[in-house]
Amino acid sequence: MGIKGARKSGGLDFYLPMADPGESPIAASFVVGEISSEGDPGRFLEAMTSTGVYEPVDLDEAPGVRREVVAEADVQEGIELASRRVDYVAAVPGDRGRWLTISFSTMGGGDPNDDLSDATVALLDAIVTTFRWSSE
């Protein structure tokens, strides 16, 4: 999915690697978005974790979920390499039914399970798990 598709799906901020001329950027990016749900937020999280794909997490005391998957290459769709994807969904404190989403993708050094992929996923997890909410 390109930036236009991500924007249509609720993407708000896009983080893409940049490099100076002659350098190679890291093959990783993430999109921050927002979704909304109706009803009990606890039931929303319960439904996500009941599949076994998402695991519960807390982001600055806000309940949420995390999942990590490897998406295989799909040459017919123009996707030549497999990628490792990490998604977070967290409740927006004090605003029932609003959820922050963070969707990350990396191809590592060409293998979604290589050391570079492990390092970029660890960096994302460090950023997200030290996230702090602010009303300012």
Closest CA to 91 of 131, 52, 58, 135: 58
Ordered by start, the domain boundaries in the chain are 15-129
- Return d(Cα 105, Cα 111) in angstroms, integer: 12
- Return d(Cα 73, Cα 61) in angstroms, integer: 36
pLDDT tens digits for range 13-72: 666 666 566 666 678 888 888 888 887 888 888 988 998 899 999 999 899 999 999 999
Considering the four listed CATH numbers 3.40.1130, 3.40.1000, 2.40.50, 3.30.70, the one that applies to the domain covering 15-129 is 3.40.1000
Q: What is the predicted pLDDT for the residue at 72?
A: 92
Q: Does pTM top 0.75 for this prediction?
A: yes
Q: What is the predicted pLDDT for the residue at 110?
A: 86
**C-beta of residue 101 within 8 angstroms of C-beta of residue 87:** yes
- pLDDT of residue 11 exceeding 60: no
pLDDT top residue among 135 and 127: 127
Q: Which two tokens stand for residue 109?
A: 């050094």
